[in-house]
């Protein structure tokens, strides 16, 4: 794709190569009209404004977009930056062109119906504009293609704008336009948008990674030639038609994200060589994979088949990682020439390769399914554009995983999705009646994220309803806006009488869980400024107020009443500096005078003969292995104020299964809660009772751990034990898998 601004001559030469005469005439009329209306308007860079729509149209022409799309690209800023209306464009150029221009045009003013008489913020106007664009895209993808190339040219010329505008546009590009290009399979465009955005947001990282990749490319060239020759020779001997072997390094932004996530310096770019092997047909791809695994050993767990199960963005390829005889790791992708070309430009193949086998019905069907997904999300709440936009950005544009139904059908979900998200994606009724889930034939917690490739089976019960706790994002039951909206809508449809009854039962159930069965409902209502308990019950029943929020408030009111102990220790340096050290178990501390540890140095403690602890830097040379055995403590630096913890006992009632106690203790560890004591489990009639004494720092921490444990499969009751008194018969189970509210 050319990087320079287009001129009229280059544009018309390009369209002459593929458009019919009558179509070229229409485009020429749009060119003349836009050029006249924009007149001498200038961009921030000083160049004529018309160079922008002309360049966008030229980008489209390189992929053989049709005359209406080219005309709309030339006119796409006329309705926004001149006095020409969409109606006038329709009069001159027809309904199709006007519809495309209207879909791309930003909203300057929103109708009374949309704004509901309120003055909208800049963010709300932006969301409404994006909502309009996405809605138009599902009807005609050319709308968003014009917008993507409009953004590309703006990002290529962004240096002429103020810095704060650059950062705003770059962040918007990373959040919306690059993911959209990715889901449409336009890999080249996606990669450049990400790189241009990174250059704005973190120029130092961009330059370091770019230079390091270029250096690696030069260093790897000789090795690549040798490996490429081996692949050609080996596969040709197997009578496979190898068309090419291509060196294809990771793009800059992907490298940046990987380095950032792993806390690795930006110059330490992954040196693993990435090769693409192009073959004659898909059969040859599988045969070549087998032969290459004979030539070099494959790395276990590093194989993906995107030919048999293509991604929604039209990408098809076999992925494997091998280790050569010299010990070098290679990432190899095997695909046909057609797959390779389509993987670069995605949906643009619909025009560039029109009438060829490269744009098949199967490819078109996958694109239609993607648009259906966007359409479903964007129209969740038509009266609230922000909700629809958030749903698309977070659910559709986010990195996807593929999971399978029991029948083997593929369901794509946003990464982090849970069994409840899966159930709602299948059918809203299945989501609302979701009672339990089996993943890979094992009982699975409803708030545990699914993994790529999982096989999921949902157990539903007709009288089961959604749980209000599902809507607490902190508990992780629901990750997608689509599922969250439909769960919330279920509660909002309840009659007032039913909502009040549910809310009352729900409040009492939450108080029981806290070990506060006798706590006054009136006091709860007062703490939330409700006039009466009925209003509190109503909002709880409709999920306008979540039970976990109520539980946290109740605990906050009582938190200081119980005994507590210090979790952190104070230690002073010789110069009087004060530091907070965690996990020292109230031992007397002193700082090592040799390594002089200071935050944020990683630290450990050495238990001396007098039972005091010396705080050392982790790499202090005085910590000799022969002295360390059995005397080391893992320490950390605390906040400015030492923490205090309340010691509380909780009772967990379960139907025992392998690994359950481990899962409970793992959750507690993840919450960084200390288990002071575990009472040996007792059982009766197949039920097991586990008593855990925990040191809890904050009310919200207690609410979280109670609900997290309650979400585990086979747990049917959890409660704080009031004043240490255990009454096993007080709460009886409703079921072996899940207790509805």
Which residue from 69, 47, 44 is spatially nearest to 58, judged by alpha carbons? 69
Q: What is the pLDDT of residues 609-632, one digit of tens each?
A: 888 899 999 888 888 776 667 788
Please provide residue 695's backbone torsions phi and psi, each rounded to the nearest 5 degrees: -105, 105
Q: What is the pLDDT of residues 698-715, one digit of tens each?
A: 899 999 999 989 888 888
pLDDT given at position 536: 95
The domains of the chain, with CATH numbers, are 8-105+140-201 (1.10.3210.10), 206-352 (3.30.460.10), 399-467 (3.10.20.30), 494-561 (no CATH), 568-637 (no CATH), 644-724 (3.30.70.260)
Q: Largest Cα–Cα distance of the chain, in whole Å?
A: 95
Peptide bond into 726 cis (omega under 30): no
Nearest-5° Cα angle at 706, 479 to 451: 35
Q: What is the mean pLDDT of residues 172-188?
A: 87
d(C-alpha 462, C-alpha 429), whole Å: 9
pLDDT for 739 beyond 50: no
Residue 188 is a catalytic residue: no
Give the SS3 label for residue 241. coil
Residue in 28, 29, 66, 81 annotated catalytic: 81
Q: What is the pLDDT of residues 548-598, one digit of tens each?
A: 999 999 998 888 776 677 777 888 888 888 888 887 777 888 899 888 898
Q: What is the mean pLDDT of residues 67-90?
A: 90
pLDDT given at position 360: 62
Residue in 2, 32, 80, 214 annotated catalytic: 80
d(C-alpha 290, C-alpha 459), whole Å: 39
Predicted TM-score (pTM) of the model is 0.68
Please provide residue 192's backbone torsions phi and psi, each rounded to the nearest 5 degrees: -70, -40
Burial 299-310 (b: 16+ CB within 10 A, else e): eeeeebebbeeb
Residue 281 is a catalytic residue: no
pLDDT for 732 beyond 60: no
Q: What is the pLDDT of residues 496-518, one digit of tens each?
A: 999 999 999 999 999 999 999 89
Q: What is the pLDDT of residues 203-221, one digit of tens each?
A: 999 999 999 988 888 888 8
d(C-alpha 554, C-alpha 522), whole Å: 12
pLDDT given at position 389: 67
d(C-alpha 538, C-alpha 531), whole Å: 12
Query: Strand runs (DSSP E) across 563-686, as ranges?
Result: 564-566, 568-572, 578-582, 589-591, 603-607, 613-617, 632-634, 636-637, 644-655, 674-684
d(C-alpha 136, C-alpha 150), whole Å: 16
SS3 content of the chain, % helix, strand, coil (to 5): 50, 15, 35
pLDDT for 725 beyond 50: no
pLDDT for 299 beyond 50: yes
Residue predicted with more confidence, 477 or 384: 477
- Residue partners of 188: CB distance under 8 A and separation at least 6: 1, 344, 345
Give the SS3 label for residue 647. strand
pLDDT for 136 beyond 80: no
d(C-alpha 387, C-alpha 397), whole Å: 15
pLDDT given at position 526: 92
Helices (H), ranges, 140-162? 142-156
Q: What is the pLDDT of residues 340-372, one digit of tens each?
A: 988 888 889 888 887 766 566 666 676 677 777
């Amino acid at each position: 794709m050319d990087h320079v601004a287009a001129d009229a001559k280059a544009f018309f030469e390009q369209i002459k190569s593929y458009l019919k005469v009558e179509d070229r005439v229409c485009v020429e009329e749009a060119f003349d009209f836009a050029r006249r209306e924009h007149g001498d308007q200038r961009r921030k860079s000083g160049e004529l404004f018309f160079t922008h729509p002309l360049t966008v149209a030229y980008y489209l022409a390189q992929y053989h977009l049709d005359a209406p799309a080219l005309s709309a690209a030339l006119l796409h800023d006329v309705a926004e930056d001149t006095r020409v209306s969409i109606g006038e464009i329709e009069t001159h150029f027809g309904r199709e062109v006007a519809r495309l221009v209207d879909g791309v045009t930003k909203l300057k003013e929103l109708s009374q119906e949309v704004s509901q008489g309120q003055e909208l913020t800049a963010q709300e106007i932006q969301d409404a504009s994006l909502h309009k664009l996405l809605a138009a895209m599902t009807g005609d993808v050319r709308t968003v293609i014009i917008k993507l190339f409009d953004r590309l040219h703006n990002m290529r010329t962004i240096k002429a704008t103020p810095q704060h505008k650059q950062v705003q546009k770059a962040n918007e590009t990373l959040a919306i336009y690059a993911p959209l290009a990715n889901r449409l399979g336009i890999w080249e465009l996606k990669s450049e948008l990400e790189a241009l955005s990174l250059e704005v947001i973190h120029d130092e990282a961009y330059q370091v990674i770019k230079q390091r990749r270029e250096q690696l490319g030069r260093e790897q060239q000789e090795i690549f030639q040798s490996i490429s020759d081996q692949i050609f020779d080996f596969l040709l001997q197997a009578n496979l038609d190898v068309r090419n072997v291509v060196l294809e390094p990771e793009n800059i932004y992907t490298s940046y994200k990987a380095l950032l996530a792993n806390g690795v310096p930006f110059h330490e770019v992954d040196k693993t060589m990435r090769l693409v092997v192009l073959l004659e047909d898909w059969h040859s791809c599988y045969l070549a994979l087998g032969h290459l695994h004979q030539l070099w050993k494959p790395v276990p767990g590093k194989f993906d088949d995107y030919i048999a199960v293509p991604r929604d963005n039209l990408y098809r390829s076999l992925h494997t990682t091998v280790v050569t005889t010299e010990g070098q790791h290679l990432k190899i992708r095997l695909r046909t020439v057609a797959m390779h070309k389509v993987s670069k430009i995605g949906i643009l193949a619909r025009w560039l390769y029109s009438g060829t086998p490269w744009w098949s019905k199967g490819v078109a069907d996958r694109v239609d399914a993607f648009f259906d997904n966007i359409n479903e999300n964007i129209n969740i709440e038509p009266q609230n554009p922000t909700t629809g936009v958030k749903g698309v950005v977070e659910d559709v544009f986010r990195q996807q995983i593929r999971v399978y139904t029991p029948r083997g059908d593929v369901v794509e979900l946003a990464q982090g999705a849970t069994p409840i998200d899966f159930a709602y994606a299948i059918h809203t009724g299945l989501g609302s009646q979701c009672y339990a889930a089996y993943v890979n034939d094992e009982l699975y917690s409803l708030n545990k994220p699914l993994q790529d490739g999982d096989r999921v089976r949902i157990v539903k019960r007709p009288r089961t309803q959604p749980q209000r706790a599902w809507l607490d994002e902190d508990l992780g039951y629901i990750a997608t806006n689509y599922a969250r909206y439909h769960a919330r809508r279920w509660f909002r449809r309840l009659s007032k009488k039913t909502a009040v009854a549910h809310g009352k039962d729900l409040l009492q159930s939450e108080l029981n869980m806290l070990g506060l069965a006798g706590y006054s409902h009136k006091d709860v209502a007062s703490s939330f400024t409700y006039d009466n308990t009925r209003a509190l019950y109503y909002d709880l029943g409709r999920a306008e107020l979540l039970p976990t929020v109520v539980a946290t408030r109740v605990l906050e009111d009582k938190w200081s009443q119980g005994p507590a102990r210090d979790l952190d220790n104070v230690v002073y340096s010789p110069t009087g500096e004060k530091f907070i050290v965690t996990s020292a178990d109230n031992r007397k501390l002193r700082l090592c005078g040799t390594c002089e540890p200071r935050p944020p140095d990683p630290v450990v403690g050495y238990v001396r003969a007098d039972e005091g602890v010396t705080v050392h830097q982790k790499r202090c040379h005085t910590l000799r292995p022969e002295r360390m055995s059995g005397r080391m403590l893992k320490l950390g630096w605390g906040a400015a104020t030492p923490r205090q913890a309340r010691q509380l006992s909780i009772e967990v009632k379960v139907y025992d299964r392998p690994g359950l106690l481990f899962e409970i203790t793992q959750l507690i560890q993840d919450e960084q809660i200390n288990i002071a004591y575990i009472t040996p489990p007792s059982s009766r009639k197949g039920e097991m009772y586990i008593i855990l004494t925990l040191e809890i720092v904050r009310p919200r921490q207690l609410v979280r751990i109670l609900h997290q444990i309650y979400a585990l499969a086979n747990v049917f009751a959890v409660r704080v034990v009031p004043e240490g008194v255990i009454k096993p018969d007080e709460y009886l189970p409703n079921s072996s898998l899940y207790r509805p509210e």
